[in-house]
Chains A and B, each alone.
Chain A
Amino acid sequence: MHEMGIACSILDAVANEARRHPGARAMKVGVRIGELAAIDPEALRFCFEVMVKGTEQDGLQLEIDRVPRQHQCADCKEEFVIRDYDFRCPRCGTVSVDFASGDELELTFVEVSEDESSSAGTKST
């Protein structure tokens, strides 16, 4: 149960990003969570909602993109999702243990509102 700490890290990152956009407000943050990341997305959502409530980040939404375990075939280079620990490539049948993705715990984006105070200084690049 370390989702509270993870939620805290996400909110710190959002606050840092929001400071770079004076006058704008962070509305939504995206995270990518692999199935091997040892994070329970529902517990993370619960912690996140508890932590933003009553703060200046109240209303901030969390978008979670879950990533399955994927391997890349050593022979034909096909990337495929691993289900039930079956490591055979669906295209050519080679057993592949080359891990490709599925342990991510990453921030993907922050959505900030258009500048609420003035039109200067928050140009999107």
Chain B
Amino acid sequence: MNRVPLERKVLSENDKLAAELRARFHEHGILCLNIISSPGSGKTSLLERTLESLPRETRVAVLTGDIQTENDANRLKRAGFPVKQITTGGTCHLDARMIDKHLAGWRLEDIDLLLIENVGNLVCPSSYDLGEEAKVVLLSVTEGEDKPLKYPSIFFKSELMVLNKMDLLPYVPFDVAVAEENARKVHPGMEIVRVSCTTREGIDAWLAWIERRRQSARAAAAVAGETLVAAPGAEPGS
């Protein structure tokens, strides 16, 4: 028997394409966020509040994933920004190939912020890199405080947890402190914002987080641009 060592990622094809997407996003100074949660935690509502709060001149685009229907895209298009629905037809997550395919027709130089709403699922999306700058996980107070412990992978890999439906706290036995402690057990130091998409509580804190990340993305793009100018012989991807 001949044992051939491989030592590479199982999803190396997806990761390779995701790395190419990330390089394109960096080149254009685009902040790309991959938003993940269980079905019904409020991803689409959060995007609705986000889009209607952004100034009209904001260069934002949205890709929204579901197994079936164009319902989410139709909801989000009302804000007037470019939105595309990705219907996976059964697949429980988005992958880099779907993002690449659905970006076709959009000029990346016209986009500053790309928001990707993943398929509602706390498990599978955590395995697939989409080229995003950061994953954001939503949890709502109508779920269990122990979800971060039950689904540690996605809470570990997400940079921000958005705790949604805060307006419903008086009606549900949900302990915010315990939920946040659980999230930080899985992901020490994790950033958390508490929001209600119904009352708009906390939406400004969420927008401020996006703005901070956009500024870092722009700064990184500027540095990358200067590096290219300083080293004209360097060919990207070589």
CA gap between A108 and B6 in the complex, in Å: 5
Contacts of B124 in A (CB 8 A): 1-2, 38
Cβ contact within 8 Å between B188 and A13 = no
Least Cβ distance of A22 to chain B in Å? 13
Beyond A111-B1, A113-B1, whether A38 also contacts B123 by CB under 8 A is: yes
Beyond A38-B126, A103-B157, whether A108 also contacts B2 by CB under 8 A is: no
Cβ contact within 8 Å between A107 and B9 = yes
Majority SS at the chain B contact face:
mixed
Cβ contact within 8 Å between B153 and A36 = yes
Contacts of A9 in B (CB 8 A): 10-11, 13
Interface size class of A (residues with CB under 8 A): 20 to 34
Q: Does B93 contact A (CB under 8 A)?
A: yes
Least Cβ distance of A112 to chain B in Å? 5
Contact flags (1/0) for B142-159 with A, using CB distance below 8 Å?
000000010111101100
Q: Does A80 contact B (CB under 8 A)?
A: no
Cβ contact within 8 Å between B6 and A17 = yes
Residue positions of B touching A, CB distance < 8 A: 1-13, 91-93, 123-124, 126-127, 149, 151-154, 156-157, 185-186, 188-189
